[in-house]
Amino acid sequence: MSLLRIKELRTLLHKYNHSYYVLNISLVSDFEFDNLMCELDTLEKKHPEYEDVNSPSKRVGGDITKSFNSVKHQFPMLSLSNSYSKEDIVDFDSRVSKLIDNTFTYLCELKYDGVAISLIYENGQLVRALTRGDGVSGEDVTANVRTITSIPLSLIGNYPEKLEVRGEIIFPRPAFDLLNKERLANGEQLFANPRNTASGSIKLQDSSEVAKRKLDCFLYALFLDNSVTNSAYEHYELLKKWGFKTPFLDKNYVKSVSTIDEVMSFINYWEKSRNDLPFDIDGIVVKVNELSLQKLIGNTAKSPRWAIAFKYKAEQVSTLVKNVFYQVGRTGAITPVADLEPVEISGSVVKRASVHNADQILKLDLRIGDTVFVEKGGEIIPKIIAVDFTKRNKNQLPLDYIKCCPECNAELVRFEGEAQHYCINSNDCPPQIKGKISHFVGRKQMNIDGVGEETIDLLFNAGLIANVADLYNLKKEDILPLERMAEKSAENIVNGVEASKVVPFHKLLFALGIRYVGETVAKKLANHFENIQSLRIADFDTLVNVDEIGDKIAESIIDYFKSPINNELIDQLIGFGLNFEKAKIKDELSTDLLKDKKIVVSGKFNIVSRDEIKRLIELNGGKNISSVSSSTDMIICGENMGPSKLNKAKKLEIKLVVEEEFLDMIKVNQHSVEENPPIQGEIQF
């Protein structure tokens, strides 16, 4: 009965997904969809014996891939030869025409600017997804690809038993802009462009993070055992019938043409219209359409002879530099920015361009009043390529790089080996103070709702906060009088701040904004030191002995804890009850959910310590076992789990459970984490 319902739900949800993400038609309300998904989720949890890696419930991700296996491609993944001029296209046409006696057609397509992917289906099920790699072997990124909603996990219609399809994973512009907007609000570094971000996303270890990225995929090549058609164009029609998202045939994304003039019109059309597309393209692909002729013409070692890419040049315009001003970042890094006479480029109006650093100003010999060439590739911030010296006037003097911070007037320093100047007056320089607070409240750090950049500005300007500890003193009555502050927003801030007190130690460590201590380093430190006191007193040798901590990070941590201001801040935060040590779970939460289960614990953990995991296993009726065997029920795996254990586990098909899953399993949530008693006693420095 349950299996029947599970199957029914999977078919239904696959159908709704396909309709929504591939055909753009919504068949059910979000509410109904969520209810069905919830029902499926509950049944699947109750019946792990009916597990299906391609269940629609897998779309949200959750699998962790520590290292991506290299797998050989069935056919090499070639690249395309590039051309930048219309003459190259004419040459290509005459080369092809010489090789072919009969009439033939060309297929003109968009060249999607993303990352190539090969998808393998057996009996209508997605079994593998590989990156291009070196063209011969690619990396197995199946778990991550399963989260891309427009890629079917289960095919429909009359599909062949085996097929391979290739395409491009892209980051649609609107989703990319939204992601960067969120990152800006969280004080995180912005991603440079959709292509690199798509490529980075597909290699993330945590597939639930990939699911959040809203990637998309267009397909452009199909390999079948027995081809049923001689036309690449018809391949698209077949793929569409089987449930794939092909380039929209109706939107002129693909066009079958018979003459080189028509190829040129396609190129010209998209050169003008490409800025209206909701994703980036970097050119046009021209292919011989007939599959038998493609075979006849063949490939070189690197690329097919039957296809060519026409790449659009990054658009360049010239404009005037009205001024150069200097921005101060969260870390005190100074970035010179050119204030430009507004100019339209690639469909958007550009008013500013980053000049990176003092060396770049010298290299370009940039002066105020110059006319410059500006280029916008895929990047968000346009680049100044060169100065138009023919327009330079004698009165324009070389730029004098600033010596003092434009915000707080402190003298700037330039560290050895670094290109940027820094303001090191970090505790008294307003953009640095605000930047630190904004980093602290970020989603991946303390995740304090309701405190965005604007609110931080308001609170700072009103003198209510001058450092992150001040957040914990905020009262609703202090916030309410601020401009445009409603009762509800004020309440949200106070509640958000309060809720952050239980945020795990590694996130708090990341939130402090110690130079070079990013998310990953913070996890390593939290794993090793387990509480702030032992980290505070760690000397250089102790620090560099920690996994992945090098000289630069160690020095930065020591510097941080040398400062009396930083120590005072930490003492204040300890006083407010923030979680400065790894969590301990309350004993009264014991269950028999793991009764008689034989469990191996391996690797390092982030939220609780390894010993705590072991204690929790016993508390919930399980048994701790040291080595993996066929009688092992599950392995709780942390970071850097030993490869021999992992291989053995895979061979014996033993269930692997990550830390969060385990805590979920025994129903531990943030609220059951004991509030750590404030750490007593002063540390002497």
Task: Please identify, using beta-carbon distances, which residue of 15 and 203 lies nearer to ligand IVH.
Answer: 203
Please, what sign has the CA dihedral across residues 385, 389, 391, 394? positive
**3-class SS shares of the chain: helix, strand, coil, % to 5:** 40, 20, 40
**Near ligand IVH by CB under 6 A, which window of 77-85, 181-189, 201-209, 441-449?**
77-85
Residue 645 annotated in active site: no
Query: What is the SS3 assignment for 169?
Result: strand
Q: 341 is written with which tokens?
A: 């006479």
Q: Rule CB under 6 A: is residue 195 a binding residue for ligand IVH? A: no
**Near ligand IVH by CB under 6 A, which window of 299-307, 355-363, 407-415, 577-585?**
299-307
**Distance in Å, CB of 117 to ligand IVH, minimum:** 8
Give the footprint of ligand IVH on residues 233-252 (CB under 6 A).
none
Q: Rule CB under 6 A: is residue 196 a binding residue for ligand IVH? A: no
Task: Please identify, using beta-carbon distances, which residue of 281 and 521 lies nearer to ligand IVH.
Answer: 281
Task: Please identify, using beta-carbon distances, which residue of 109 and 370 lies nearer to ligand IVH.
Answer: 109
Closest CA to 337 of 384, 403, 386: 384
**Distance in Å, CB of 544 to ligand IVH, minimum:** 42
Which position among 285, 465, 514, 607 is part of the footprint of ligand IVH (CB under 6 A)?
285
Q: 412 is written with which tokens?
A: 């700037």
Task: Please identify, using beta-carbon distances, which residue of 297 and 553 lies nearer to ligand IVH.
Answer: 297
Q: Rule CB under 6 A: is residue 79 a binding residue for ligand IVH? A: yes
Closest CA to 625 of 669, 666, 594, 589: 594
* 402-410 contacts, C-beta under 8 A, 24 or more apart: 402/326, 402/334, 405/328, 405/332, 405/334, 405/429, 406/325, 406/326, 406/328, 407/328, 407/431
**Distance in Å, CB of 25 to ligand IVH, minimum:** 25
**Near ligand IVH by CB under 6 A, which window of 34-42, 302-310, 406-414, 416-424?**
302-310
Instruction: Assess contact for 449 and 492: CB atoms under 8 A.
Output: yes
Which strand ranges, in their side-by-side order, compose the sheet holding 106-112? 82-83, 307-311, 281-288, 106-112, 254-257
**Near ligand IVH by CB under 6 A, which window of 304-312, 412-420, 562-570, 591-599?**
304-312
> Which residues, other chains included, contact 94 with Cβ-Cβ below 8 Å and sequence gap of 6+?
none
Q: Rule CB under 6 A: is residue 168 a binding residue for ligand IVH? A: yes
Closest CA to 357 of 326, 331, 320: 326
Per-residue mark of binding to ligand IVH, 468-507 (x: CB under 6 A): ----------------------------------------
Which position among 265, 303, 360, 489 is part of the footprint of ligand IVH (CB under 6 A)?
303
Closest CA to 255 of 287, 209, 214: 287
Q: Rule CB under 6 A: is residue 286 a binding residue for ligand IVH? A: no
**Distance in Å, CB of 269 to ligand IVH, minimum:** 16
Q: Rule CB under 6 A: is residue 304 a binding residue for ligand IVH? A: yes
Task: Please identify, using beta-carbon distances, which residue of 116 and 553 lies nearer to ligand IVH.
Answer: 116
Instruction: Assess contact for 89 and 310: CB atoms under 8 A.
Output: yes
**Distance in Å, CB of 283 to ligand IVH, minimum:** 8
**DSSP-assigned states of every residue in 311-343:** EPPPEEEEEEEEEEEEEE-TT-BEEEEEEEEEE
**Distance in Å, CB of 90 to ligand IVH, minimum:** 20
Which position among 109, 407, 581, 639 is part of the footprint of ligand IVH (CB under 6 A)?
109
Task: Please identify, using beta-carbon distances, which residue of 304 and 518 lies nearer to ligand IVH.
Answer: 304
Q: Is 138 exposed, middle or buried (0-12, 13-18, 19+ CB in 10 A)?
A: buried
Which position among 169, 232, 286, 309 is part of the footprint of ligand IVH (CB under 6 A)?
309
Q: Is 171 exposed, middle or buried (0-12, 13-18, 19+ CB in 10 A)?
A: buried
Give the active site residue among 45, 72, 111, 562: 111
Q: Is 481 exposed, middle or buried (0-12, 13-18, 19+ CB in 10 A)?
A: exposed
Kindly provide the b/e burial profile for residues 442-458, where b requires at least 16 CB atoms within 10 angstroms of the residue's own CB.
Answer: beebbebebbebebbeb
Angle at 605 between CA 603 and CA 610, to 5 degrees: 75
Kindly provide the b/e burial profile for residues 485-496, where b requires at least 16 CB atoms within 10 angstroms of the residue's own CB.
Answer: beeeebebbbeb
Which position among 27, 43, 60, 78 is part of the footprint of ligand IVH (CB under 6 A)?
78
DSSP 466: S
Q: Rule CB under 6 A: is residue 112 a binding residue for ligand IVH? A: yes
Alpha helices in 162-259 (DSSP H): 173-185, 194-201, 207-212, 232-241
**Near ligand IVH by CB under 6 A, which window of 106-114, 154-162, 209-217, 365-373?**
106-114
The pairing of beta strand 281-288 with beta strand 307-311: antiparallel
d(CA 383, CA 18): 40
The pairing of beta strand 162-170 with beta strand 115-122: antiparallel
Which position among 27, 221, 385, 466 is part of the footprint of ligand IVH (CB under 6 A)?
221
**Distance in Å, CB of 385 to ligand IVH, minimum:** 24
> Which residues, other chains included, contact 439 with Cβ-Cβ below 8 Å and sequence gap of 6+?
186, 187, 188, 330, 445, 511, 513
How many residues belong to the site for ligand IVH (CB under 6 A)? 15
**Distance in Å, CB of 262 to ligand IVH, minimum:** 17
Three-state secondary structure of 92-143: HHHHHHHHCCCCCCEEEEEEECCEEEEEEEECCEEEEEEECCCCCEEEECHH
Which position among 159, 220, 440, 605 is part of the footprint of ligand IVH (CB under 6 A)?
220
**Near ligand IVH by CB under 6 A, which window of 91-99, 303-311, 558-566, 622-630?**
303-311
Task: Please identify, using beta-carbon distances, which residue of 168 and 581 lies nearer to ligand IVH.
Answer: 168
Closest CA to 242 of 319, 158, 353, 182: 158
Q: Closest residue to ligand IVH, Cβ-based?
A: 116
**Distance in Å, CB of 111 to ligand IVH, minimum:** 4
**Distance in Å, CB of 202 to ligand IVH, minimum:** 13
Biggest CA–CA distance in the chain, Å, is 89
d(CA 340, CA 383): 12
Q: Rule CB under 6 A: is residue 139 a binding residue for ligand IVH? A: no
Q: Rule CB under 6 A: is residue 364 a binding residue for ligand IVH? A: no
**Near ligand IVH by CB under 6 A, which window of 109-117, 440-448, 613-621, 664-672?**
109-117
**Near ligand IVH by CB under 6 A, which window of 206-214, 301-309, 559-567, 640-648?**
301-309
**Distance in Å, CB of 396 to ligand IVH, minimum:** 42
Q: Rule CB under 6 A: is residue 129 a binding residue for ligand IVH? A: no
Which position among 64, 80, 479, 594 is part of the footprint of ligand IVH (CB under 6 A)?
80
Task: Please identify, using beta-carbon distances, which residue of 310 and 529 lies nearer to ligand IVH.
Answer: 310
Q: Rule CB under 6 A: is residue 111 a binding residue for ligand IVH? A: yes
Point out which residues bind ligand IVH (CB under 6 A): 78-80, 109, 111-112, 116, 168, 220-221, 285, 303-304, 307, 309
Query: Which residues are annotated as catalytic?
Result: 111
